[in-house]
Structure 1
Amino acid sequence: MPVQMGRLKSLRTLTTFVVGKSTGSPIGELGDLSHLGGRISILKLNNVVDGRDALQANLKNKKDLKELELAWGSEDADHSEKVRDVLDKLQPCMNLEKLTVKFYGGTSFPNWLGDSAFNKIKVMRLVGCHYCFELPPLGQLPALKELFIRKMKFLRTLGLELYGQPFQPFQSLEKLEFMEMAEWEEWVPSGSGGPDFPCLQELILEMCPKLRGSLPCDLPCLKKLSVEGCGVLHDQRATATTSTSTNLNYNSLQELEIEDGCQTSLLSLLETKLLSRLRIRNFNDIQCLPNINRLQSLSLWNCPTLSSFPEDGLPTSLTSLYIESCRRLEFLPHEMLAKLTSLHCLSICNSCDSMRSFPLGIFPKLTTLMIGNCENLESLCLVEEEGAVENLNHLNELDISGCPNLVCFPQGGLPTPNLTRLEFRRCDKLKSLPERIHTLTALQDLDIRDLPNLESIAEDGGLPPNLRDFSIYNCERLRASSSSVGGDYCNWGLQALVSLEEFMIGGRGSDEILETLLKQQLLPTTLHALWIKELSTLKSLDGKGLAHLTVLRSLYINSCKSLEFLPGEALQHLTSLQELHIKDCPSLQFLPEEGLPPSLSCLRIYNCSGLEKRYQNNTRQDHRIEINDEVII
């Protein structure tokens, strides 16, 4: 910080103060800034010599200060008595509402931290206080709503000292989070006779690998529970005796997340009547889900032993279902799927290996369908049921990726009049897109990538007329022209797409497509952004094919290793061009002598050795130049 900060006696806002060591401002400079208010972070407190210097900061009398962060220099902070004395002397005013302490190295906290006189503190964060063996009596802070404890590697027991005496603890706490507590083993209840956390709505436990025993047994207001990386934790319901099990209270639980090998006993919480969201990740010991009554959202990720859904099927209230990396899981039978009348979003990835055909039209409200890495999927079919076509009226997004055996779609095309996004990626055997794709008049985004056998995309009527974003990448057998009339015209109807604003073309096989589009000026005049990527043989852009793009704002040229020059006259016609990005084009030695369009505001060059040398010391430009992320002008 600048020296003599203390002379700014009327200063009211200072968001950050970095304590100087041999140079800069010492912490005592804050003493005369009595009008400071709002929020301040005081950093590098390891530079404070002793507690007397900290006392001079006079935080206790800064009555307008609402948020305070006190941070030492690193996680390897000094843990001598001096550090505790410094924190003790940095006691803030009682009006404080938010307090963060980071990388404090003391073995205990000063008495003011947790004093009930701080009756306005709503948020408390203790981060990286490694050497503290116990927490302060934070349960006595009457207004505390959110408490975050992270990286206290020597804390082994969370016990009575946290709750404090003599009052009922945590009367206002709504959110409690413990993260990266490497040695924490035991969570002891207060024994007060009532709930330890009577208002708690959200509890998050993450990366507490040694925590044993049970969760607090009486959380009457808890709405969300998230447990990750707590592999030895047992739920109280699994271990309670008959005499105590009737006192368990999770009746308000709505959202449950269990991740990374937590004990399966936590699944007993699925019995909670109000549970509406369930996410299970990285579970190795679950074979079948129990019956779930009122779920609205279900996410299953990396459950390699899971092989079946509940016997009674999934709840009809389900609106979203995500299944990923559950290969043994059998795809639901047709009659069970038909009961999911509320389903809006379905995502299946790396799962359901037995699925060979997916039935479109079975879900009356489905808006989003994503299928990824389903190796045996061969077709999308339209179910032969009354109302199937009408059901597809709701579908807005269809994404298919990593399905190497997918070869066919419903005859006559997709009856999805409201589809706005369509994506196909990494489908090795796919030779053509759905028939009559031009009838998808609501489609705005079409993305086709890594389809090595794709031969046609719009042979029977052209592309959808209202496309806004169109991407082609690594479709090596795809051609932009028809050989039936000499091979000299494009049959996609690109030029007629009056709504197209963004176009990306690149990868294997795209050199010839781009040459055709440019040669015949077939790119629509409405383009705002053009990406040209990874074209191996492209040596020059045909200027004629770019000159008519008078509303183009951004031009991106990436990884075109053979590109040697750009058309100067054409670039001059790009009168709306604002950004030109050139990356990984080592053969490109110079930009056009005619210059770049006057509208250009930024030229970005990355990993282009020839251009870097030319523009490194060029200061005679009217636009911003960035080379390898460094601003040159």
Structure 2
Amino acid sequence: MPSQMSRLKSLRTLTAFVVGKSTGSTIGELGELPHLGGKLKLQNVVDVKDAGQANLKNKKDMKELEFEWGNEDSDDSAKVRDVLDKLQPCMNLEKLTVKRYGGTSFPNWLGDCAFNKIKVMRLEGCHYCFELPPLGQLPALKELFICKMKFLRTLGLELYGQPFQPFQSLERLEFKDMAEWEEWIPSGSGGLDFPRLQELILEKCPKLRGNLPCDMPCLKKLSVEGCGVLHDQRATATTSTSTSLNYNSLQELEIKDGCQTAILSLLETKLLSRLKIRNFNDIQCLPNINRLQHLILWNCPTLSSFPKDGLPTTLTSLYIINCKRLEFLPHEMLAKLTSLDYLTIHKSCNSMRSFGIFPKLTTLNIGYCENLESLCLIEEEGAVGNLSLLNNLDILGCPNLVCFPQGGLPTPNLTQLEFSRCEKLKSLPERIHTLTALERLWIRNLQNLESIAEDGGLPPNLQHFRIENCERLRASSSSVGDHCNWGFQALVSLKYLNIGGRGSDEILETLLKQQLLPTTLRSLWIEELSTLKSLDGKGLAHLTSLQELFISRCDSLEYLPGEALQHLTSLQRLEIRCCDNLQFLPEEGLPPSLSYLKIFKCSGLEKRYQNKTGQDHWDSISHIPCIWINDEVVI
């Protein structure tokens, strides 16, 4: 910090104070600032006398303090403890954070019940402390976060302190990265150790064994991750003690990364509404969970079946990711999920070949379902399923998908539609032009796609259209009436067009040559067109609403149409990336509206413009307020 900070007698706010190794202010100068308050972070305080002179005890307006040291190693643990002792704050403090403290124990003031306004406490990276201070004595403490205390092996009576009922106000408790922690001992006081705790998070405590605290009547969320030897009290309790267990308020349960199967007994909790199971190897069948609303199953390789009675009708969102042995719900069970709003299936349910009935979804994501062949959407009686609420449909990586419902998708309110990496797909759904609510259409990596809108054109209200790596697709004239090139001219709402990859060179050339791009276009992205040598100026000149032009990885591009670019009176941003054959920007100059130009990894342009050489060429772009070449601002 600058020297002579103590002269700022009226200073009220100082967010951080870093003690330098040589010159500058010392922490003791804070003692001369009586009005200092709010939030303060102190770093690298190592001098005991200096810490005492800071006089934090008398900073009555100080609400938040953070003590941090750059290196927790210390040859003198007693000295480090004395420094923290001298940094004792005022009793009005509400939030305290201690990071990388190098002592083996904490000073007595930390956990003193006289600090009756502290609501949040964080102890991080205090590696050499083998026990915690009596934080249970802090009457107002609501949030406690303990992280990376690698020498702590037991949480015992010292944590709870003297009062009959510890942690009277604690609502959130989190332990993270506790590599050596083995045992969690209850207070034995006869009362509840955590009477108001609502959220408990245990993450990466690999040696913690035994039981969770057995009585937490207010607990709403429990998250257990990377605690491979932890047992739930319910799994080991005898009949005589099982009636005292209390998790009856639990609503949200997360089990991740190598936890014991015993934790699953908590699924019996009656109020459970959110369940997330991730990276779990020892579960084969889900039990019945009556009130579940949100279910996430992620990387559960042994899971093979849902409950026999099906999933609860209260379910609103369902994610199934990387559960390849899991058999999908029969159609009649799926139809009962009338509340289901969001469904994602990725790398799961490999035996599934089609969907026959769908619930009332708003979002459906299907990814990497290897045997999926058809998206039927038709009930057994022949009536179209109810999809009036569906607004987002994404299908990714389904190599055997070949067909859609005859007559098109019965999704009148669909706003987003994406197909990607479906190798056998030759055409998009019929009558796609009838999807009048569709705003975004992405088709990517469909190597056998031959047609997309030959029976009426693209949806009329499309705003964002993306074509990428559809090598057999051609923008050819339709035989129906005057429609041409998927009805591009009728897309009066189109604002964003992304076109690139294999097969897209000819599509772009056709759109430009026949001047089919709508005047409403605001953003044009051209990427990975290997044979494109120049842009047809006639097809660009009329785009008076275009604000952004992005050209990337077009290896053969040699020429940009200067006269046409001059007509782009709304163009503000131009980016050219990885186009080594492009040697010049247009001699006619770029439009005066341009405010941002970026050239990245274009060797020819770099040589010509990076050092502002060639006055004639530089003058053509010097009016642009911001010019980037690679990662350097040139102007």
TM-score bracket, normalised by the shorter chain, equals over 0.9
Residue identity in the other structure for 2:305: S
Q: Report the CA distance shift for 1:318/1:143 in structure 2 as closer, same or farther (over 3 A).
A: same
| Secondary structure of residue in 2 paired with 1:382 | coil
The residue aligned with 1:527 is 521
Whether contact under 8 Å (2:457, 2:483) holds in the other structure is no
2:102 is aligned with 1:105: yes
Deviation readout 1:208-254 (Å, 9 max, x if unpaired): 11110111100100000011111111100001122211110000000
Report the Cα distance in structure 1 between the residues aligned to 2:412 and 2:479, rounded to whole angstroms: 31
Change (3 A) 1:280 1:24: same
1:631 counterpart letter in structure 2: V
Question: Which position in structure 2 is the counterpart of 1:402?
Answer: 397
Give the superposition deviation at 1:101. 1.1
The equivalent residue for 1:393 is 388
Report the AA paired with residue 543 of structure 1: G
With over 3 angstroms needed to count, the CA separation of the structure-2 counterparts of 1:308 and 1:548, relative to structure 1, is same
Find the counterpart in structure 1 of residue 7 from structure 2.
7
Q: Which residue does the alignment assign to 1:32?
A: 32
Question: Are residue 59 (structure 1) and residue 56 (structure 2) matched?
Answer: yes
- Residue 17 of structure 1 corresponds to 17
Which residue does 2:266 correspond to in 1? 269
- Partners of 2:151 and 2:629 in 1: how far apart? 47
Q: Distance in 2 between matches of 1:245 and 1:196?
A: 18
Match of 2:562 among 544, 562, 568: 568
Judging changes above 3 Å, is the alpha-carbon distance between structure 1 residues 49 and 185 closer, same or farther for their aligned structure 2 residues? Answer: closer
Question: Residues 57 and 631 of structure 1: is their aligned pair in 2 closer, same or farther, counting only changes over 3 Å?
Answer: farther
SS of aligned partner of 1:82: helix
- The match for 1:580 among 574, 583, 598 is 574
Deviation at 1:571, TM superposition (A): 2.1
Q: Is the 8 A contact 1:481 1:489 kept in 2?
A: no
Structure 2 unaligned runs (5+)? Answer: 613-617
User: Once the two structures are superposed, what CA deviation does each residue of 1:327-349 show, in whole Å capped at 9, x if it has no partner?
Assistant: 11111112211221111111111
Contact 1:72 1:104 in 2 (8 A): yes
- For normalisation by structure 2, the TM-score amounts to 0.95
Distance in 2 between residues matched to 1:32 and 1:271, nearest whole Å: 60
Aligned twin of 2:218: 221
What does 1:441-520 align with in structure 2 at a 5 Å threshold? 441-482=436-477, 490-520=484-514
Q: How does 1:255-404 map to 2 (within 5 A)?
A: 255-360=252-357, 362-363=358-359, 365-384=360-379, 389=384, 391-404=386-399
Q: Give the letter aligned to residue 460 of structure 2.
A: P
2:615 paired residue number: none
Aligned partner of 2:593 in structure 1 is 599
- Alpha-carbon distance between aligned partners in 2 of 1:79 and 1:547, rounded to the nearest angstrom: 74
Distance 1:596 1:40, change over 3 A: farther
Partner AA of 2:584 in structure 1 = F
Per-residue CA deviations over 1:76-130 (Å, capped at 9, x if unaligned) read 5666332222211111111111111111111111111111111111111111111
- Cα displacement (A) at 1:489: 9.0
Tell me how far 1:137 sits from its aligned partner.
0.9
Structure 1 residues 78 and 203: CA distance shift in structure 2, 3 A: farther
Residues 37 and 563 (structure 1 numbering): CA distance in 2 closer, same or farther, change over 3 Å?
A: farther
Distance 1:348 1:76, change over 3 A: farther
Tell me if 1:557 matches 2:554: no
SS in 2 for 1:131: coil
Distance 1:290 1:462 in 2: 49
User: Which of 376-385 and 475-484 deviates more?
Assistant: 475-484
Instruction: Decide whether the 8 Å contact of 1:107 with 1:132 is kept in 2.
Output: yes
Q: Report the equivalent of 1:416.
A: 411
Give deviations 1:399-427, integer Å, cap 9, x for gaps. Answer: 10010000000000001100011010110
On the 8 A contact 1:60/1:92 being kept in 2, the answer is yes
For 1:279, what is the secondary structure of its paired residue? strand
Residues of 2 paired with 1:93 and 1:632: CA distance? 51
Per the alignment, do residues 417 and 24 of structure 1 end up closer, same or farther by CA in structure 2, a change over 3 Å counting?
A: same
Three-state SS of the structure 1 residue aligned to 2:387 is helix
The percentage of aligned residue pairs carrying the same residue is 82
How far apart are residue 269 of structure 1 and its match?
0.6
TM-score by length of 1: 0.95
Contact 2:284–2:304 (CA<8 Å) still a contact in 1?
Answer: yes
2:541 aligns to what SS in structure 1? coil
Q: Note if contact 1:533-1:560 (Cα within 8 Å) is conserved in structure 2.
A: yes
Structure 2 letter corresponding to 1:101: V
Deviations 1:476-526 (A, max 9, x none): 1111123879xx994211222111111111111111111111122211111
Matched, 1:152 2:149: yes
Residue aligning to 1:42: 42
TM-superposed deviation, 1:74 = 4.1
Instruction: Indicate conservation of the 8 Å contact 2:495/2:523, yes or no.
Output: yes
Q: State the 1:383 CA deviation.
A: 2.2
Amino acid at match of 1:258: I
Instruction: Note the alpha carbon deviations across 1:240-293, whole angstroms, 9 max, x for none.
Output: 122211110000000000011101111111111100010101111111111111
- The CA deviation at 1:38 is 1.9
Instruction: Give the C-alpha shift of residue 187 in structure 1.
Output: 0.7
| Cα distance in 2 for residues equivalent to 1:42 and 1:388 | 69
Residue type matched to 2:345 in 1?
Answer: I
After superposition, residues 160-179 of structure 1 pair within 5 angstroms as 160-179=157-176
- Greater than 6 Å deviation, 4+ residue runs: none
Aligned mates of 1:390, 1:359 — CA distance in 2: 8
CA 357–543 in structure 1, closer or farther in 2 if over 3 Å, else same? same
How far did 1:42 drift? 2.0
The one-character-per-residue Cα deviations of 1:38-58 (angstroms, maximum 9, x if unpaired) are: 222223x1xx34111122222
Partner of 1:608: 602
Deviation, structure 1 residue 444: 0.7
1:389 is paired with a residue whose SS is coil
Q: Distance in 2 between matches of 1:515 and 1:39?
A: 60
Report the Cα distance in structure 2 between the residues aligned to 1:594 and 1:463, rounded to whole angstroms: 36
RMSD: 1.9
Change (3 A) 1:617 1:99: farther
Cα deviation for residue 28 of structure 1 reads 2.5
Q: Distance in 2 between matches of 1:614 and 1:184?
A: 62
Matched pairs, number? 626
Counterpart of 2:62, as a letter, is L
SS in 2 for 1:370: strand
In 1, distance between residues paired with 2:604 and 2:40? 47
Decide whether the 8 Å contact of 2:164 with 2:191 is kept in 1: no
Are 1:77 and 1:103, in contact at CA under 8 Å, matched by a contact in 2?
no
Equivalent-residue separation in structure 2 for 1:621 and 1:150 (angstroms): 53
1:628: which partner in 2?
630
Q: How far apart in 2 are the matches of 1:378 and 1:75? A: 59
> Per-residue deviation at 1:621?
4.2
Tell me, yes or no, if the aligned pair for 2:219 and 2:250 is still in contact at 8 Å.
yes
Compared with structure 1, are the counterparts of its residues 571 and 167 closer, same or farther at alpha carbon in structure 2 (3 Å cutoff)? farther
Contact 1:20–1:27 (CA<8 Å) still a contact in 2? no
Partner of 1:181: 178
SS at structure 2 position matched to 1:493? helix
Q: 1:146 to 1:630 in 2, by over 3 A?
A: farther
Aligned equivalents of 1:258 and 1:7: distance in 2?
A: 55
Instruction: Give, as a single letter, the amino acid of the residue that structure 2 aligns with 1:13.
Output: T
* Shift in CA distance, 625/270, structure 1 to aligned 2, threshold 3 Å: same
What SS does structure 2 have at the residue aligned with 1:369?
Answer: strand
Contact 1:178 1:206 in 2 (8 A): yes
